[in-house]
Amino acid sequence: MKKRITIQTIASGSFAGQGRALRMHCTMPHPTTHISYLSSFIFYLLSLLFTLSCTPSVPDQADEAGRDAVVAPDNHDATLPPNIAPLNFEIQEEGEAYVTRFSTHSGEELVVGGQTTDIDTDRWHQLLQAAVGDTLFTDIYVRQDGRWNHFNRMANPVVPDSIDPYITYRLIRPSYVMYEELTLNERCLESFAERVIYENMTLSHGNSGQCVNCHVPQRQGQSGRSQFHVRQALGGTMFIDGDRITKVNLKTDSTLSAGVYPAWHPTLNLIAYSVNETGQSFHTLDPQKIEVIDYASDLILFDPEQGRVQHIEHTARDYESFPTWSPDGRTLYYISAHHEPVGTDIDADLEQNYQTLHYNIYARAFDPHTRKFGPRQLVFDAESLGKSASTPRVSPDGRYLLFSLADYGQFHIWHKSADLWAMPIAADSLTSSIEGGGEAAVALPLNSPESESYHAWSSNGRWILFSSRRDDGNYTRLYMAYFDAGGHAHRPFLLPQRQPRHDLQMLRSYNAAEFMVRPLQPSRRQLLKAVRSEARRATYGGSALSIPEHDADDTAPLHIANQNHHNIYESN
């Protein structure tokens, strides 16, 4: 028997229904702060009145348009999880009336009207549940000149593997040197609920600006631990453990900078960081606009309990960055590029030769008992391909290494050539992962001509969250793609929004997004209080290598640090 759910349109769904959906699917400790309750109430009241006034129905007769409807965002053929929020879209076809029908093989059906869909969250989830292991179909009808046209049916496979219910990210304008309003946000993927975790302007006054970045959890937040950096005013790295927050200044006299790109050990309370001497230079004519260059970089290991920093990599001519752990915590992967300086002016040298910086992926074995690292081993030789790798991340089952690959450099968000690649590795052995070699690495079919860069695995390893500039080359949007057990990435979909035009209109980028299995525990007020507190200074504990390497300290990168470019990570 056909079960039909008919709802209407621009803002369909009842206030009560929406509230249920939010409670059912998300348990945000603090509801959205961006939209006032008053405006939401008025919005839903008007929607309800409109809903009651007319109900859409699928036309009895319609001509076949013989083509796909133009919709934005276009998520056709994307594989969907059973718990994702409604994928609203705008039908960009001229017409007098619009009807969209979502249906499944099992007979569930949902009909919405209007050029812009606003699908009731509860109904949508019912529909997705009915389509699990099967396909969700979308039929679009547009009345043009009094006649209904039916466009090609869209089909979205729905898999049983759920996606983690939360993501965190930074909202930022695609800026260069300046920054002003930055927020760390948490978004429920099962609904549209979004909250601000931290807003930098709250504690920014006049010229004492504050930058916040890199909210990174340990194991998708399963342990309750995460961290983020605060730079400039009241700077420090905030360590969150449940509702306990500690502020630490990771800069020591023996390290290049405060911690930059973090990687939580999967089980121990340890974090590997890169420390970077980073500058920005600007293209005079290239649409890529900017090059973010590391003039020096190392790796450190931070033990929050002891407040101690140790060097993992500390060489002058090798630039290491973007560490990441294997899921068993026995291997640390990272990228590294070798560069022999030409002359003494590192600024001029790298501004001239930035395209010769090719980062490979390396790894070091880690002994959790001694907390020491073994020798460095090459994992993926990007340079031999004339490419440069960045942001390696290992899948939770330890079978795949996902990384971005571009023509040069490591800050791939500004590189149009940047694509996501995956490489099979062994689950529990560094040696075998290396034996697997880089030959098996493949570019994922989800790439675009624009930059694909920062990415994260869901806790079950079946979903990839990644940043892409495919829409216009400049503004980063978040996409999610299914990564099946066979190692195949499926067509991605855009982060769902209640208003489909949201991402088209917003002149901000999503940055450094991470999956979370549960919401961040501390409140915004708690975080603000912690940021206001004095930072504990980390101490330096020498090398974390089991056998310290000879050239580690005598040509320390500190001595060749760039003179002209302000290091954006210089102060904590």
Partner 1 sequence: MKQRLPFTFTFVAFALCLLLGPLRPYLVETAALTPFYTTESFAAETISKPCGLLFYLASFLQSCFARPWLGASLFVAVLVAIAYVQRWAFRMSNAWFGLCWLMPFALLLNYTQLGYLVYTLKFPAVAFTPALGFLFTFSFVGLWFRWDKWWWKVAFALVVPAIGFWLFGVYGILAALFTGFCELGIGHWGLMTAHKGYGNFVQPGIGRFGRRLPFTDERDRHMLWGIVVFSLGSAVPVLLRKVLPYPIDVWAGLVQFTDAERQMRLPWILALMLPTFFAIFRMEGKRLWQTVVSAIVFVAAAFATYTYSFRDANFLGILHMKHAAEAGQWEQVLTLARTNEEEPTRAQVCLARLALFKTGRMGNELFAYPDGAASYNAPQQNQWLRLMIGPLLYYHYGKTGFAYRWAMEDLVEYGERPAYLRYLLKVARLNGEQALARRYEAALDRTLFYKSSEYSEYSEFSEFSENSENSENSEYSENSEYSENSDYSDNSDPSLRPLLSYTDQLDGDNGLVEFYLLQSFALSQGGSRPMVELALMNSLITKNLTDFWPRFMALLPGWNGKIPTHYQEAALMVAQLQGGMDTSSLPIDPAIRQRFEQLVQASAQNGDNASNAYALRPAFGDTYWYYYFFVQGMKTT
Q: Which residues bind partner 1 (CB under 8 A)?
A: 30, 33-36, 39, 173-180, 196, 199, 202, 206, 281-287, 289-291, 351, 354, 471-475, 499, 501-502, 504-507, 523-525, 528, 564-565
Cβ 242 to partner 1 shortest distance, Å: 18
Burial of 52 (0-12, 13-18, 19+ CB in 10 A): exposed
Closest CA to 56 of 173, 158, 140: 140
Cβ 499 to partner 1 shortest distance, Å: 7
Cβ 288 to partner 1 shortest distance, Å: 9
Cβ 550 to partner 1 shortest distance, Å: 34
Residue 129 or residue 280: which is nearer to partner 1 going by CB? 280
Q: How far apart are CA 264 and CA 301, in angstroms?
A: 10
Q: How many CB atoms lie within 10 A of CB 32?
A: 19
Q: Do 71 and 92 meet the contact criterion of CB atoms below 8 Å apart?
A: yes
Cβ 351 to partner 1 shortest distance, Å: 4
Residue 44 or residue 179: which is nearer to partner 1 going by CB? 179
Residue 204 or residue 453: which is nearer to partner 1 going by CB? 204
Q: How far apart are CA 565 and CA 571, in angstroms?
A: 14
Q: Which residues are paired to 184 by β-bridges?
A: 170, 198
| Cα radius of gyration (the chain) | 25
* Cis amide bond preceding 160, omega within 30: no
Residue 347 or residue 553: which is nearer to partner 1 going by CB? 347
Residue 376 or residue 412: which is nearer to partner 1 going by CB? 412
**What are the φ and ψ backbone dihedral angles of 214, each rounded to 5 degrees?**
55, 60
Cβ 363 to partner 1 shortest distance, Å: 31
Element (H, E) at 433: helix 430-436
Cβ 204 to partner 1 shortest distance, Å: 11
The identity of residue 84, as a single letter, is I
Q: How far apart are CA 25 and CA 122, in angstroms?
A: 9
Beta strands in 407-471 (DSSP E): 419-424, 442-443, 452-457, 463-468
Q: How far apart are CA 527 and CA 479, in angstroms?
A: 28
Q: How many CB atoms lie within 10 A of CB 198?
A: 25
Residues 6+ apart with CB under 8 A from 439: none
Residue 102 or residue 228: which is nearer to partner 1 going by CB? 228
Cβ 168 to partner 1 shortest distance, Å: 17
Cβ 167 to partner 1 shortest distance, Å: 20
Residue 49 or residue 507: which is nearer to partner 1 going by CB? 507
Closest CA to 104 of 143, 153, 145, 161: 153
Token pair recorded at residue 132? 């699990």
Q: Do 494 and 478 meet the contact criterion of CB atoms below 8 Å apart?
A: yes
Beta strands in 159-221 (DSSP E): 166-172, 183-188, 194-199, 210-217
Residues 6+ apart with CB under 8 A from 285: none
Residue 289 or residue 536: which is nearer to partner 1 going by CB? 289
Residue 244 or residue 525: which is nearer to partner 1 going by CB? 525
Residue 310 or residue 453: which is nearer to partner 1 going by CB? 453
Cβ 571 to partner 1 shortest distance, Å: 19
Apex CA 164: angle with CA 442 and CA 475, to 5°? 60
Q: Do 451 and 405 meet the contact criterion of CB atoms below 8 Å apart?
A: no
Q: How far apart are CA 72 and CA 88, in angstroms?
A: 9
Residue 539 or residue 564: which is nearer to partner 1 going by CB? 564
Longest CA–CA separation in the chain, Å = 80
Q: Do 132 and 90 meet the contact criterion of CB atoms below 8 Å apart?
A: no
Residue 3 or residue 532: which is nearer to partner 1 going by CB? 532
Cβ 545 to partner 1 shortest distance, Å: 35
Cβ 236 to partner 1 shortest distance, Å: 19
Cβ 276 to partner 1 shortest distance, Å: 18
Q: Which residue has the tokens 């206030």?
A: 15
Residue 77 or residue 286: which is nearer to partner 1 going by CB? 286
Cβ 29 to partner 1 shortest distance, Å: 9
Q: How far apart are CA 210 and CA 481, in angstroms?
A: 33
Q: Where are the alpha helices (DSSP H) in 54-146?
A: 121-130
Q: Do 7 and 41 meet the contact criterion of CB atoms below 8 Å apart?
A: no
The identity of residue 145, as a single letter, is D
Q: Do 411 and 390 meet the contact criterion of CB atoms below 8 Å apart?
A: yes
Residue 99 or residue 531: which is nearer to partner 1 going by CB? 531
